[in-house]
Amino acid sequence: MKHPIGQSYSEVKPFPEMLSVVTDPNLEVFQVTTDLEQTGDARGAFFSPDGKRFVFRRGTSEPHGNLYWCLCDVDQGHRLRNVTDPADNPAAPFLSGDGRHLYYFQDSSHEAKPRIKLCRVSLDDCRTETVTVFDQAVPGIGRRPRAGGKIMRRGMTQGASLRADGRRVLTGFNFVGDDNEDRFAPVIIDLETLAIHGFEWEPYSWRVGGTYYRGSDPAHRGHIFMGKSWRSQAWDPKDNYKLIEVNYSDIHRASLHVVTEAGDIVATVPIGGDGEGVDHPCWRGGRYEIVVHSGDFHSAPHWRGCVRTAVPVPCAPAHYQAGRAIPGGRSVDLTRKFTRPDVCHQSWHVDGIHAAFDTEGWAGRGTPCLQGPAAFLYLGTVHEPAGEDPDLVTKYLLHPRSSWSWAGVENCQELSPDLKQVFFNSDWTCTIGRPQLFVVRGFTFPK
């Protein structure tokens, strides 16, 4: 980290190389991070509630090395300020409801005295304080946080979700079992009382986690969207720590659920099943709907990477994995008017109408290309005609020309709350396989 915490600096430069004859004539593209000894990564990044600040991850050019979090002042010429120290192993950052503080977890759960600290940074002067320390057994789990000492010593998940009222935050800790295997579980922390509790979900290693409902309906305030993979993960020490997966269900497909803060399933999403994949699921903005990227084979003889949305419905445990066949459930293909839709990552505005998408970039998903195509960005507006199902109207945005499949840099686009900017990754003209942060503005959404 070259700049002290809190010091304002700038690396931004115009990047017209991503403009073309098919981009919006008013479009402007900027490369926000240009120091090739560091990365700039939009994966897991987020905006402040007012959209004036964007928090993203930086680090050295080594994979997973010396990671820290950086703040971009969007309305100050995209100037930057480092807000965490890489020595703290900062994980799962989130902003307070008023946008004045950045919280993060200092993960020391792999040390001799395992613990996880909750820290808070004032975004006015970038002073950091320790809020509390979690080193005791967590109610609902019965174990203290502890990492297993595997090659990937993850003591917690890398994301956090703040409840809409700003009172509670959801993340995941590692509670290693007696067999020394990872046993991640969701935990919920009350930011006023600092009380913590967790609940068992499934032993799917580091991917366990969830997101709070983003809308304003008080009836759903404490509802959490979570997925079940019905399998577990581990690293095999006998095979160079190769990642291995073990299924613990006869049906090898994911299921999507809405749960309470106690971990009770109250609704299930009627999407998935034979011929209908489930990937990158999330809330449809602030609406009580779940939207997914679905590799769809049952609606056409060719692959369709469609955008599918559904309202979660009550469901008996026997039908949890029934997908689109869940009794009383119904989903809508927002891209049904396209012969071959293509989508991967999604960034939805809280209105549930506007979103930024990218197309698939992985080899073998709907394309004969061995290395997978580089994925482009597009915008979408949901039309909701009276008496008809909603559908998505799209508009091309730009081509980041990122390496994607063969070097691993995905676009990971994030749409701003004011609908005027999209941040994204690319390693084009940079160090291949090491993302830099870009931003585009000057676009209009399709009508």
Structure tokens at 413: 């686009």
Specify the pLDDT at position 182.
Answer: 75
Number of helical (H) and strand (E) elements in the chain, helices listed first: 0, 32
Specify the pLDDT at position 151.
Answer: 45
Q: Give all strands of the β-sheet with 168-174 in edge-to-edge order.
A: 161-162, 168-174, 184-190, 196-198
Q: How far is CA 20 from CA 24, 244, 420, in A?
A: 9, 43, 20
Judge whether 56 and 72 are in contact, CB under 8 Å.
yes
Beta strands in 221-276 (DSSP E): 224-228, 231-236, 242-247, 255-259, 265-268
Structure tokens at 11: 């690396």
Q: How many CB atoms lie within 10 A of CB 281?
A: 22
Specify the pLDDT at position 172.
Answer: 92
Specify the pLDDT at position 110.
Answer: 83
Rounded to 5, what percent of the chain is helix, strand, coil?
Answer: 5, 40, 55
Judge whether 426 and 436 are in contact, CB under 8 Å.
yes
Q: What is the dihedral of CA 60, 63, 68, 71, to 10 degrees?
A: 80
Closest CA to 74 of 433, 428, 415: 415
Regarding beta strands 90-95 and 101-108, do their DSSP bridges make them parallel or antiparallel, or are they unpaired? antiparallel
Q: Give all strands of the β-sheet with 436-441 in edge-to-edge order.
A: 13-14, 28-31, 436-441, 421-426, 414-415
Judge whether 38 and 62 are in contact, CB under 8 Å.
no
Written as tens digits, the pLDDT of the chain (447 aa) is 789 999 999 999 999 999 999 999 999 999 999 999 999 999 999 999 999 999 999 998 555 558 899 999 999 999 999 999 998 889 999 999 999 999 999 988 888 899 999 999 999 999 999 999 999 999 999 999 987 655 455 677 778 999 999 999 999 998 887 777 778 899 999 999 999 999 999 876 656 679 999 999 999 999 999 998 887 766 566 665 566 677 666 666 789 999 999 999 999 999 998 778 888 899 999 999 999 998 888 888 888 889 999 999 999 999 998 999 999 999 999 999 999 999 999 999 999 999 999 998 776 655 555 555 668 999 999 999 999 999 999 999 999 998 887 667 899 999 999 999 999 999 998 888 899 999 999 999 999
Beta strands in 384-420 (DSSP E): 391-398, 414-415
Q: How far apart are CA 319 and CA 330, in angstroms?
A: 14
Residue whose token pair is 């073990």: 246
442: left (phi over 0), alpha (psi -120 to 50) or beta: left
Judge whether 12 and 423 are in contact, CB under 8 Å.
no
Specify the pLDDT at position 236.
Answer: 64
Contacts of residue 407, Cβ cutoff 8 Å, sequence gap at least 6: 427, 432, 433
- Domain coordinates of the chain in residue numbers? 83-222
Structure tokens at 171: 């993340």
Contacts of residue 426, Cβ cutoff 8 Å, sequence gap at least 6: 18, 400, 401, 402, 409, 411, 435, 436, 438
Specify the pLDDT at position 299.
Answer: 84
Beta strands in 2-113 (DSSP E): 8-9, 13-14, 28-31, 38-47, 53-60, 68-73, 79-82, 90-95, 101-108
Specify the pLDDT at position 65.
Answer: 57
Q: How far is CA 164 from CA 99, 150, 161, 199, in A?
A: 13, 35, 9, 21
DSSP 8-state assignment for residue 165: T
Q: How far apart are CA 446 and CA 184, in angstroms?
A: 42
Q: How far apart are CA 249 and CA 230, in angstroms?
A: 6
